[in-house]
Structures are given as structure tokens and as C-alpha cells.
Structure 1
Amino acid sequence: MVDSAVLQRGIEPALRHALGTFRVVVLQGPRQSGKTTLARRIVGGGTFFSLDDPALLPLALDDPTGLIADRARPVIIDEVQRGGDDLVRAVKLAVDSDPSPGGFLLTGSTSFLTVPVLSESLAGRAVFLDLAPFSQLEIARSDAGLLSVVLDALTRGTASSAGSRLLEAPPSTVTQLEYAQRICSGGYPEAIGLSDADRGLWFSAYVHTAVTRDVVEFTGARRSSELPRLLRAIAARTAGELVMADLHRDLEFGSIETTADYLSYLEMTHLVARLPGWATGAATRAKKRSKVHVTDTGLAAAMLGVTAASLSNPTAASRGALHESFAVNELRRQAAAIAPDLRFSHYRDSRGREVDLLIERPDGRFIAVEVKAGATVRPADAKWMAWLRDLVGDRFELGIVLHTGRQPIRLSERIFALPLSFLWEL
């Protein structure tokens, strides 16, 4: 277990800034990711309400205006989505009456804008921030992660200078087993450090809570008992293309529309995320089909019954997919804290050319990432990345092949192979 009250969260500076600028700040993310702890830590004074409190929830539902009236600000409402539309409307009226910044900090375990009952989005009044479980960067207490180093180097110079800085980093000392342990542990504070067996029990209870408390309560889903089965099916497909017809055929959920709805419920509770396909005018054969990732590899491994010992076996069936989801999740978590305007996608076309991850900047330039579970990297592992570089020219800033070996090496122009641990220990 990691003490979430002690570790610094990368998003904390952005959250503090938002509270000093906007009337309402919404901090959303999965249950047990540390939202409540972070909210309590950074807000001195004020008023705190948790709608998970069975004594408080009826008050929020029956008299939301009275609940928040004349309270010391900021008012923190934990699990705000449980209060429904009337509570959101009361917050809206309160900040219209007193538009001072930092009036309300709302936390929620469901995607705030997709909960059907919350018809008022607080548009123009609120800013939304995402808090995932711990990143490896946060667990390592490091301030030098791959994404920040690369973005800083590219801002200050060129791809060559960024590559030179990466090549100068010391070799990795992380072993195959240690990578597997990090992947199977994931980032949930309560799950880190548990044994494989205890972690499996924790995640089983966690999924049950997310289903019975959040999905059923907010959507009225009648087949909630099927959602863990759906999550296992997605875990078996993590890092793969999402083909709804195949998923529906395997699960046999009534209609394909029902399968799509239930998948959206897992997305709503931040357990699953889609990675859209990327296309540009130069890549006319690109497919728009999304990939799908379980948002925490500890959860994915638990759903599949994978242990660190089994995952460290080079022949493990889920080895490549879990390493890829691990890297994608880590980069997304780092981006949420330092560069939330980055756009994440993948590339695949009808001729089988593919790149695992593209991280696109607002001006259209991007970083390409491939993930390999093996320790040996060859130039052929970056062939589609090199093809994409030649296709789009200067928009391609840097290509990175992440691997589980020790040494950083240059593969070709603007393309480098780096140890996976460089994600958090540069």
C-alpha cells in the first residue's frame, strides 16, 4: 500500500492554479485514485461533504440549496454525482451569486459530463481535471519523467538535441521481473505492495463496488452482474483494436447496442479508455477504429489472473499487450499533470502499418511511441515509425521504441530505442 497522503501528485500545481482562477473545479477519476485525499490536503479550511456518507446523502438530495448555503469556502463535495441534477443546479446558482474563484471543488468517480442525470454541465463556470491512480513517476518520487524531458528538450531545441540528452542517460537497472511487478501492481494506492493473491481480492471487491455503487446507481443497468465479465473481456483485448461485433459475439449481451452501452459504462467509471485512430491527409488509408485499454494494468492483470511471475515469462500470452497498456497509461497520467492539451491516438492502416501511440501537440507536431516487451530492439522494430516520419516530414518530431533492455540507442534519424524505465527515471 502507498500512503497517498504523503506522495506528491503531479496534478497538484494545476489543481491549485485552477482553484485560484475558476469558480468551480471538478476533479474526476476512478474510485480509490486519491481524489479525496488530495482535495483535503490542498484545501485549507473550507467545508467538506462526502456524499458516500449515508447520513449526508439524503440531505443533499432533499435540500441541496440548504446544504451548501452560507458554508465556508471552498466547499468540497466528494462524489458529487450522487447528489444528482438538483445539487449541481444549486452549485451553479451559488457561484452565480458569488463568482469568486475557488468557491467549489467537486470530486467524482464517474465522468461528470456523461452521467445522464446531470443535465447541467456548469459550462462556463467550471474547469475539469482528471486524477488517475498513481503514475510510476509519482511512486518513484521523481520529477524527471520521459514526457517532461522530451517536451522540454523539443521546446528548447531540436529532435537531435532531445535524442542526445536521452542517449546520455545512465543504463536502466530494472529487471524483467521488476517490470512485471510494476505492471501487476498498477497505481491504485491500496493495491500497490499487496501480494498477487491479496491484490486479486482487492480488485474483485473494487470492481463490485464500481459496478453496484456507480454504474447501477446512475444508469439503472439491469445486467450489472455481467459487467465484470465484460471487463475481463476488455482486459483480454487491452492494447488491441476495438471491434464491437467481435466483443458482442463473445459476450452475447442481447443486442450489439447493449454491449456498446455497457462498454460506455466502464468508460464512464474510468476503468476502460479508448485510444482513437489517427489520420492525416497524407495517410489516406488510415483506419479510424479505436484501440481499447484497461486504464490500470494492475486491474487488467487481476481480471486475467496474471501474476508477476507468469508475466515475466517471455512466452506469456498477455505480455506484449500489458506492457503496451502500461506505457500508454503512464504517458497519459504524466500528460494530465503537465500538458493536458496533448492528444493521444494510434496509427494503423489497411496495409498493416501501425504505430502503438502518437502524442500530438496542439500545433500538429507529434511524438511516436512503440512498445516492445522484449529486451532486444532492432531497426526493423521501428520500420513503420520511420515510414510515418518520411510521410509527414517535420510534423514527426521524435520516435521512441520503449523496451525492457538496459541501454538507450539511436535507431535512425529522429528515432531512438529507450528502456521502459526511462518513463519515470530520467
Structure 2
Amino acid sequence: MDRAQDRAAALADPVGFVDLPHLLVIDEIQRAPDLLLAIKASVDEDQRPGRYLLTGSSRLFGMAAAPDALPGRMETVELWPFSQGEIDGGPDGFVDAMFTLGPDLRHESTVPRADYATRIVRGGLPEAVSRDDPRRRGRFFDAYVQSLGLSRPTIARYLKALEEIFLVKRIPGWSRNLGTRATASPRLVFVDSGIAANEVAADARGLLRSGAPFGPLLESFVLSELARQLTWSDQLADLYHYRDQGQYEVDAVLENRQGKVVGVEVKAASTVGPDDFRGLRRLADRLGDDFVVGVVLYTGTATLPFGERLRAVPVSALWQVAAPGR
């Protein structure tokens, strides 16, 4: 629907446009929302699955002009930037491994801190990954954000719009009547760490200097990698964050459909200590047997035990660990 002639044909005769006996793929469907009612009518008449593939650069149900959309008649698949495993050819099985192996999860890493910094500023957008020159990649990120047509001060007032065009993701607060009220405020993370790094003018070498935002960017990087994996993992789980009134925090809480929970903390340091597990211990105490494992992802090289069901694991486990049974 980026092409004017295709949009004109769709708007002139939406019913005829979607009336095909075979698969119809419509790209940038948000530019022609009037097609949705025609598709809805067609699907109601012929309920064979897989007749339409609708793609777009904004969320279908966030479209202000979408008439009635297609509730109960479609499945939505989020298409994220490349994961690190897709870039490297790695297994990307960390989510399934956490739920299946629990504290038996093991991983040894040879990835240095400098490589993590490089991955953060590169991100996973295909165009950025293809550009080895940091200056050319930076120009791409600038153009990507500038295409919003908004000034940076204005962006703060358009968070919902940013979510609908897949620039940021909201991670809701998590609670389960644990005797202490958890915050309901969502966290916002950039869908792509490369864009986030570019917006704060951080390059790979600069991230390794004292005072650089390596920690927050690594945290955003990990959260976005977990969100990617949840779109294909065998475990059907949802991603949350946790913070209670006692200021106990966990960066990522993943809960599956059986109510089993894993917790993930992110630390930019190459060493970890007992205090880094403070929030995870809180969750473990409250959840009992429903708590599978608590993992602190850090930039060191070895998996280390820190008590029952608590482990320190290298960040590279995200994309180098295979799902059990695969």
C-alpha cells in the first residue's frame, strides 16, 4: 500500500480487491484501513485459515482509523529486529532452557565486555546490521528516528504512538498477591538497542569508559532479546518487571501459562555478589515451588551458584544456549 496506484485500486473497490481464491499478502495495511471491513466480510463467508497475510510498520489495533479491525479472526505475530542468535547463527534457546533446566542451566562464555558493547550499539535492525561503518550506521539510525516527524521534546508526549510503530515496548509490572503491592507502572525499553545507543550518542568504545550508560543499555538489550525469544519459544510465557514497596526489583519476570516463574537480573559488571540477587531472593521466598530459577546475567565467563535456584550466568547464554531437546 505504499504505491499510490495500489492504494487507489484498494479504496475504489475494497471488496473486489480482496476477493481472490489464493493467498493475498497486503503490505503496509495501515495505509488502507478500509480494506479491513472487506477482509472481515470475506473471512466470515469463507473461514479457511491463512487466506490473508497483513503486514505493516504499525500495530493494526492501534490504528485510529481501523474500522472494527478483525477481533477473533486473526493471529498477530510481532516481527522484531534480528536477535543475536539470528545474526550469529546461534540457537537462541535461553528462555526454554531456563524453564526446563532451572538451576541446572550451565553456560561458559568467551565473549569479552567489548563485544557486548559492540552488539548493543549495532542492534538488530537488518539495515544497521549490514553496515559495518559506525558512521553509516549512525546516519541510518538518525534517519530512522527523524522519519517520525517529531522533535525530541515532543517524543515524550507520544509514547503510545512510538509503541504502535514498534520503536518502544512497554513491559508491565508484575504481581501475584505476594503480600506486598507491586508497582503497576510499566517500563519502557527501546525495541532496538542500536537506536537507543545512537540517541544517547554512545559508541562501542565509549560504552566501556567510566560513567558511560553501559548498564542501562545492556539491560535494554537483554530485555529486547528476551522479548524476541518469547515469540518463538516452546514456553508460552509473558514478560514483566517487578518492583515492590520494599524497593526489591527484578529486571525481567517471565511467567508461563502454568504459573511457573523465572526471574532475570542484568549486571554490566564482570563479577557478581550476593547483593545482586536481592530481588530474586525476594521472589523465590514469596513464590515457593512456582519459582523455577533466578538468573543474574553478567559480563563474566562462568556460571556460578549463589544458593538454591540462583545462578550467575554470562549474558551470551541468551543466544548461545540451545533449548533442551533441540
Unmatched 5+ residue regions in structure 1?
Answer: 1-50, 154-158, 212-223, 232-246, 248-258
Maintained 8 Å contact 2:37/2:69: no
Residue matched to 2:134: 196
CA RMSD for the aligned pairs? Answer: 1.7
CA deviation after TM superposition for structure 1 residue 321, in Å: 0.7
Q: Distance in 2 between matches of 1:308 and 1:380?
A: 28
Whole-Å separation in 1 of the counterparts to 2:43 and 2:286: 50
SS, match of residue 316 in structure 2: helix
TM-score calculated relative to the size of structure 1: 0.72
The answer (yes or no) to whether the contact 2:230–2:237 under 8 Å persists in 1 is yes
- Tell me which stretches of 4 or more aligned residues in structure 1 moved more than 6 Å: none
Partner of 2:52: 104
Per-residue deviation, 1:345: 1.0
* SS of alignment partner, residue 338 of structure 1: coil
Map 1:31-50 onto structure 2 (within 5 A).
none
Equivalent residues in 2 for 1:53-132, closer than 5 Å: 53-69=3-19, 71-84=20-33, 86-132=34-80
- The correspondence for 1:420, drawn from 310, 315, 326, is 315
Contact 1:132/1:333, CA 8 A, preserved across alignment: yes
Aligned-residue identity in percent: 37
In structure 1, what is the Cα distance between the partners aligned to 2:249 and 2:235?
A: 25
Q: Would you say the 8 A contact 1:314–1:374 is kept in 2?
A: no
Question: How many corresponding residue pairs?
Answer: 320
Matches within 5 A, 1:170-249: 171-194=108-131, 195-209=133-147, 211=148, 224-226=149-151, 228-231=152-155
Contact 1:199–1:302 under 8 Å retained in 2: no
- Alpha-carbon spacing, 1:391–1:90, altered in 2? closer, same or farther (3 Å): same
Q: Give the structure with the larger helix fraction.
A: 1
Report how far residue 66 of structure 1 moved. 2.2
Q: CA deviation at 1:389?
A: 0.7
- 5 Å-filtered alignment, 1:2-401, equals 51-69=1-19, 71-84=20-33, 86-153=34-101, 159=102, 163-164=103-104, 166-167=105-106, 169=107, 171-194=108-131, 195-209=133-147, 211=148, 224-226=149-151, 228-231=152-155, 259=157, 262-316=158-212, 318-339=213-234, 341-401=236-296
Q: 2:136, 2:54 → 1: CA distance? A: 32
Instruction: Give CA deviations for 1:282-327 in whole Å, capped at 9, x if unaligned.
Output: 24232222211111101111111111111122431x2111000100
- Separation of aligned partners in 1, 2:47 and 2:10: 22
Mapped contact 1:73–1:102 kept (Cα < 8 A): no
Q: Distance in 2 between matches of 1:349 and 1:355?
A: 10
Letter in 2 for 1:418: V
3-state DSSP class of the match of 1:206? Answer: helix
Cα separation, partners in 2 of 1:152 and 1:385, compared to 1, 3 Å: closer
AA matched with 2:23: P
TM-score by length of 2: 0.93
Structure 2 portions without partners, runs of 5+: 322-326
Identify which of structures 1 and 2 has the higher relative contact order when contacts are C-alpha pairs closer than 8 Å and 6+ apart: 2
